[in-house]
C-alpha cells in the first residue's frame, strides 16, 4: 500500500470528520442567532474561498488540511459594529453558547449513528462468534469450552459477531472480572477472567485466555485478488491452487498465510496450478505493521465453498427502524468503551502505548479503504465517535473545556474571568501537546516495529 494511497484516504477521512464537526457548530450558531464570519476546512492561508449568503460568510479550504474551525462574531476578538452587537457570540445567553459548543461533538455522534444505521440496513458481513479449540490450561479450556462453541452473549451483552465477542471479552478482561458466557446451545459458562495484557490492545490479547477464532483447514486456493496487491502484481489469479513456496509444499491456506507473514518484502518462488497446468511466479509480499510486528501481506483471500462460508459467516441486517436503533446502540457502546479506556489509562490499568496518533490513524484509513467501502465507512464511524468523546473532555481549548467554563457560569451566575481562561488555555495547550507527543511516539514505535 503506497504512501500516496494512505495519505489520500487519511485526508478524505479527516476532511469528512472536520466538516461534519464544524458544520454542527455552524448550524447551532445560525439557529442561536450568532453571526458566522468564516467556515474553514484546514488552517493557515486559504487556498480557495467564497463568500455566501446574506451574512457574507467566508467558506474556505486552507493550506494545512489537518483540522478546521468556525469563526463567529465576537467582541473579544475585534471591533463589532453596534448594529450587530446582538449577534456576537459573547452576547449570546449561556445556554445558547452551551448549545453551540455541544453541537460539534453531537454532529460527530450523529454521523456515527447514521453510518452504523446505514450499514445495518444494508447488511454487514461478519464472522460468527465461533471459537477454536482452547489451548490446555487456559481459562477457556478450564471452563469447559470446546472448538465450535458459539458464544452469543458475554455478561448478558449480545455478541452477534466475532468482533462484538472480542470487544465484550476485552471489556470484561480489562476490568479483571469473571465472565459469564452464553452459548448458542443455551448452556451458560462461568469463566475465571484474569486481567488481560493491556500493553498493546491491538494485539490478540484474548489468545492467552484460550479464546481463539474457529479456523477450519482451507484448501490453498486463491479466491478474491485485490487489484493493487502483491498477488495481482505477481500475476496470481482467482482459482490458482498454491503448490509450493521456495520449494516448501503448501499444505493449507493457513500454512500459506504463515509463510507469507514470515517473508515481508522478500522475493519468494511460488509454484501453482492453473487450469491443470503448472506455473511459477516470483512473489514479493508487501510489508505491513500488524499487532506490533512487521509481516508480509499479498492482498488475496482464500476460495471458500458456499456451505463452509454459510457455517462461518453471518450478516448483521435489520429493517429500517431496528437498524436505526442498532445504530444508536452501537454509537453509545463505542462511546462508553472509548471513555472507559481513557479512564483506565489515567488509572494505570491500560498502557499509554495504546494511544494512537495521526500516523496510525492514516495507516488504518488506507487499510480500511483497501478492504472496501463498508470497512472504510465503518472506520469513519469509529473515528467520529472517538473525536466526539475527545472533544467533550474537560480540557481547555477543546469543546469540553469551553463547556466547563459555561457550566461554571450557570452555577455562579457570572462568566469565568479572562485571566482564568488564559491560565486554562496554557494548561490545556500543555496537556494537548503532551498527549500528542505520546501519540506520535507510539506511532513511530509501531512504524519501527518497537
- Spans of all domains in the chain: 96-123+318-450, 125-213+305-316, 222-303
- Tell which residue, 377, 392, 381, 305, has the closest CA to residue 342: 392
**pLDDT of the residue at 292:** 64
What are the C-alpha distances in Å from 343 to residues 273, 348, 351, 393? Answer: 54, 9, 11, 11
**pLDDT of the residue at 203:** 55
**pLDDT of the residue at 216:** 85
The reply to whether 222-303 shares the fold of 125-213+305-316 is yes
* Neighbouring C-beta atoms of residue 373, cutoff 10 Å: 10
d(CA 393, CA 204): 29
- 37-45 contacts, C-beta under 8 A, 24 or more apart: 37/71, 37/72, 37/73, 38/69, 38/70, 38/71, 39/68, 39/70, 39/71, 40/68, 40/69, 40/70, 40/71, 41/15, 41/65, 41/68, 42/66, 42/67, 42/68, 43/67, 43/68, 43/69
- Angle, CA of 322, 327 and 328, to the nearest 5°: 100
Cell of 48: 480557495
d(CA 188, CA 417): 58
Backbone φ and ψ of 313, nearest 5°: -105, 160
What SS3 class is residue 69?
A: strand
**pLDDT of the residue at 238:** 93
**pLDDT of the residue at 318:** 93
CB 124 within 8 A of CB 317: yes
**pLDDT of the residue at 450:** 47
- Reported residue count of the chain is 450
Cell of 430: 500543555
Catalytic pick among 22, 238, 251, 333? 22
d(CA 112, CA 383): 9
Q: At what angle do helices 94-122 and 373-391 cross, to 10 degrees?
A: 160
Which residues, other chains included, contact 397 with Cβ-Cβ below 8 Å and sequence gap of 6+?
Answer: 425, 428, 429, 432
24-63 residues labelled b (16+ CB within 10 A) or e (exposed): bbbebbeebebbbebbbbbeeebeeeeeeeeeebbbbebe
**pLDDT of the residue at 176:** 58
**pLDDT of the residue at 253:** 93
CB 29 within 8 A of CB 92: no
**pLDDT of the residue at 205:** 62
**pLDDT of the residue at 2:** 65
What SS3 class is residue 30?
A: helix
**pLDDT of the residue at 112:** 96
Backbone φ and ψ of 47, nearest 5°: -90, -35
Fold (topology level) of 125-213+305-316:
Pdz3 Domain (2.30.42)
- Tell which residue, 117, 157, 114, 115, has the closest CA to residue 321: 117
d(CA 308, CA 305): 6
Which residues, other chains included, contact 321 with Cβ-Cβ below 8 Å and sequence gap of 6+?
Answer: none
Active site residue 133: no
Cell of 61: 479550504
CB 133 within 8 A of CB 127: no
Residues of the chain with pLDDT below 50 are: 450
Q: At what angle do helices 94-122 and 320-346 cross, to 10 degrees?
A: 120
Cell of 144: 469447559
Tell me which CATH homologous superfamily contains domain 222-303.
PDZ domain (2.30.42.10)
- 343-347 contacts, C-beta under 8 A, 24 or more apart: 344/174, 344/198
**pLDDT of the residue at 89:** 93
- Tell which residue, 216, 191, 231, 75, has the closest CA to residue 132: 216
Q: At what angle do helices 399-412 and 94-122 cross, to 10 degrees?
A: 140
Amino acid at each position: 500500500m503506497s504512501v500516496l494511497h494512505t495519505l489520500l484516504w487519511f485526508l478524505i477521512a479527516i476532511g469528512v470528520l472536520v466538516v461534519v464537526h464544524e458544520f454542527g457548530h455552524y448550524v447551532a450558531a445560525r439557529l442561536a442567532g450568532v453571526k458566522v464570519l468564516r467556515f474553514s476546512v484546514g488552517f493557515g492561508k486559504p487556498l480557495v474561498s467564497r463568500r455566501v449568503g446574506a451574512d457574507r460568510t467566508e467558506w474556505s479550504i486552507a493550506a494545512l488540511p489537518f483540522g478546521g474551525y468556525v469563526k463567529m462574531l465576537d467582541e473579544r476578538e475585534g471591533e463589532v459594529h453596534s448594529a450587530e452587537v446582538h449577534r456576537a457570540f459573547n452576547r449570546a445567553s449561556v445556554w445558547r453558547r452551551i448549545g453551540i459548543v455541544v453541537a460539534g461533538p453531537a454532529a460527530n455522534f450523529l454521523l456515527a449513528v447514521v453510518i452504523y444505521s446505514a450499514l445495518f440496513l444494508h447488511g454487514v458481513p461478519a464472522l460468527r462468534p465461533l471459537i477454536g479449540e482452547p489451548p490446555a490450561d487456559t481459562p477457556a479450556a478450564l471452563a469447559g469450552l470446546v472448538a465450535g462453541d458459539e458464544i452469543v452473549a458475554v455478561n448478558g451483552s449480545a455478541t452477534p459477531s466475532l468482533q462484538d465477542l472480542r470487544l465484550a471479552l476485552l471489556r470484561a478482561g480489562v476490568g479483571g472480572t469473571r465472565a459469564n458466557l452464553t452459548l448458542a446451545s443455551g448452556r451458560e459458562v462461568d469463566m475465571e477472567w484474569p486481567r488481560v495484557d493491556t500493553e498493546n490492545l491491538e494485539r490478540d490479547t484474548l489468545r492467552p485466555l484460550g479464546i481463539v477464532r474457529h479456523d477450519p483447514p482451507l484448501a490453498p486456493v486463491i479466491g478474491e485478488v485485490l487489484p493493487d496487491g502483491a498477488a495481482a502484481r505477481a500475476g496470481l489469479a482467482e482459482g490458482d491452487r498454491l503448490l509450493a513456496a521456495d520449494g516448501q509444499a503448501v499444505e493449507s491456506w493457513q500454512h500459506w498465510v504463515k509463510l507469507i507473514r514470515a517473508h515481508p518484502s522478500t522475493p519468494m518462488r511460488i509454484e501453482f496450478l492453473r487450469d491443470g497446468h503448472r506455473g511459477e511466479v516470483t512473489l514479493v509480499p508487501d510489508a505491513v505493521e500488524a499487532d506490533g510486528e512487521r509481516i508480509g501481506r499479498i492482498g488475496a483471500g482464500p476460495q471458500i465453498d458456499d456451505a463452509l462460508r454459510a457455517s462461518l459467516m453471518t450478516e448483521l441486517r435489520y429493517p429500517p427502524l431496528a437498524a436505526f436503533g442498532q445504530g444508536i446502540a452501537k454509537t453509545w457502546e463505542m462511546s462508553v468503551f472509548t471513555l472507559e479506556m481513557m479512564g483506565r489509562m489515567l488509572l494505570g490499568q491500560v498502557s499509554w502505548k495504546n494511544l494512537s496518533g495521526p500516523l496510525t490513524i492514516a495507516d488504518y484509513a488506507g487499510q480500511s479503504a483497501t478492504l472496501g467501502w463498508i470497512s472504510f465507512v465503518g472506520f469513519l464511524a469509529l473515528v467520529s465517535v472517538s473525536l466526539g468523546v475527545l472533544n467533550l473532555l474537560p480540557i481547555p481549548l477543546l469543546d469540553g473545556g469551553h463547556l466547563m467554563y459555561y457550566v461554571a457560569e450557570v452555577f455562579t451566575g457570572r462568566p469565568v474571568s479572562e485571566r482564568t481562561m488564559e491560565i486554562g488555555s496554557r494548561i490545556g495547550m500543555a496537556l494537548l501537546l503532551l498527549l500528542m507527543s505520546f501519540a506520535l511516539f507510539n506511532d513511530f514505535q509501531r512504524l519501527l516495529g518497537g
